[in-house]
Amino acid sequence: EVQLLESGGTLVQPGGSLRLSCAASGLTFSSHAMSWVRQAPGKGLEWVSAISASGGSTYYADSVKGRFTISRDNSMNTLSLQMNSLRAEDTAVYYCAKDPGITGMTRHFDDWGQGTLVTVSS
């Protein structure tokens, strides 16, 4: 059974930084692209960032480009999201999500973590 467990969410001040992690188990982590998807309180889903299976390619939504950095450690089965220059509008539950494609990217998501809440407020 695939398990994705996010951590690192907390209250942070505007302009601050935060690093989220997602620990993966029950899958061949190095074979799957991964993404971060967020959901503001009471709102819909927003794709944030993706990384290829090897980690060699990264992609970002315009809303976070230049502020967020996605990375992965395939030896530790861990996905990360470094978030800098945080804004109030970044407040959301952040989910890590697995792409079902093997080595390639299908760009939809068949497994999700339970999410970690990031609150940006003074």
Partner 1 sequence: IVMTQSPATLSVSPGERATLSCRASQTVSSNLAWYQQKPGQAPRLLIYGASTRATGIPARFSGSGSGTEFTLSISSLQSEDFAVYYCQQYNYWPALAFGGGTKVEIK
Positions touching partner 1 (CB under 8 A) are 37, 44-47, 50, 59-61, 95, 105-110, 112-115
Closer of 16 and 39 to partner 1 (Cβ)? 39
CB 100 within 8 A of CB 108: yes
**What span, in angstroms and rounded, lies between the C-alpha atoms of 76 and 91?**
28
- Look at residues 84, 110, 118 and name the one whose alpha carbon lies nearest to residue 10: 118
Please identify, using beta-carbon distances, which residue of 59 and 84 lies nearer to partner 1: 59
Output 19 or 107, the one with its CB closest to partner 1: 107
Distance from C-alpha of 45 to C-alpha of 92, rounded to nearest angstrom: 10
* Minimum distance of partner 1 from residue 16's CB (angstroms): 26
Residue where the block lists tokens 């996605």: 70
Q: Are 36 and 94 in contact (CB under 8 A)?
A: yes
For residue 29, the minimal CB distance to partner 1 (Å) is 18
- Output the smallest distance, CB 70 to partner 1, in A: 11
Q: How far apart are CA 122 and CA 108, in angstroms?
A: 35
The nearest distance, CB 119 to partner 1, in angstroms, is 17
Closer residue to partner 1, CB minimum distance, 17 or 65: 65
